[in-house]
């Protein structure tokens, strides 16, 4: 069982390779899209690399769920994710910091759930 530090270092290497960023940019709180400039295409590349680097399987939608709280999902009202939507996020993304997001659940901040720490937590659950 790898330690949290070991997981972080490997996740950091993975993101440096996938996103072409410097290792000091990849901090635990860095957001993939906002801080590290990831685009949707990069998520598949990141999944491939994590699977290889950690020798784990990541089924579709488990690390990076698709169509989260889209306009037609029924989980959005007035630009905010509804209580039911928050509950769904907790189910779909137990590895993400939903508590912080729930304080001000504006849809435009949804992508901030995808952080380096979120990946580390997800990987840790797969390595158990």
Partner 1 sequence: MRWYWIDRFIEFESGKHAKSVKNVSLAEEHLHDHFPGFPVMPGSLMIEGMAQTGGILLGEHYKFQYNVILAKVPKVTFHSWACPGDQLIYSAQLQDAREEGGSVTVTATVGERLVAEAEIVFVHLNSDDPQLSRIDQKNFVFRMNLLDILTVGKAGAGS
Segment near partner 1 (CB under 8 A); pick from 43-51, 74-82, 92-100, 105-113? 43-51
DSSP assigned state of 111 = G
Nearer to partner 1, 25 or 51 (CB): 51
Strands, E assignment, the chain: 76-77, 80-81
Minimum distance of partner 1 from residue 20's CB (angstroms): 8
Minimum distance of partner 1 from residue 58's CB (angstroms): 10
**17 belongs to the binding site for partner 1 (CB under 8 A):** yes
Nearer to partner 1, 53 or 82 (CB): 53
- Interacting residue with partner 1 among 13, 25, 35, 45 (CB under 8 A): 45
- Per CB under 8 A, contacts with partner 1 among 56-75 are 60
Angle between helices 116-127 and 40-54 (to 10 degrees): 40
Nearer to partner 1, 49 or 80 (CB): 49
Is residue 93 helix, strand or coil?
coil
What are the backbone dihedrals phi and psi of residue 80, each rounded to the nearest 5 degrees, phi first? Answer: -120, 150
**35 belongs to the binding site for partner 1 (CB under 8 A):** no
Could you identify the residue written with the tokens 């699977």? 51
Could you identify the residue written with the tokens 């994710």? 81
Within 13 Å, how many C-alpha atoms sit on residue 2's CB side? 19
Contact 44, 18 (CB under 8 A): no
Chain residues in the site for partner 1 (CB under 8 A)? 17-18, 20, 41-42, 44-45, 48, 51, 60
């Amino acid at each position: 069982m790898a330690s949290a530090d070991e997981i972080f270092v490997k996740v950091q290497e993975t993101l440096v390779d996938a996103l072409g960023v410097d290792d000091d940019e990849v901090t635990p709180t860095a957001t993939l899209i906002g801080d590290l400039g990831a685009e949707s295409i990069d998520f598949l590349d990141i999944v491939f690399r994590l699977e290889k680097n950690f020798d784990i399987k990541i089924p579709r939608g488990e690390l990076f769920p698709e169509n989260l709280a889209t306009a037609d999902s029924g989980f959005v009202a007035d630009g905010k994710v509804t209580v039911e939507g928050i509950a769904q996020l907790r189910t779909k993304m137990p590895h993400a910091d939903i508590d912080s997001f729930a304080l001000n659940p504006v849809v435009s901040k949804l992508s901030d759930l995808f952080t380096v720490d979120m990946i580390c937590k997800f990987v840790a659950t797969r390595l158990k």
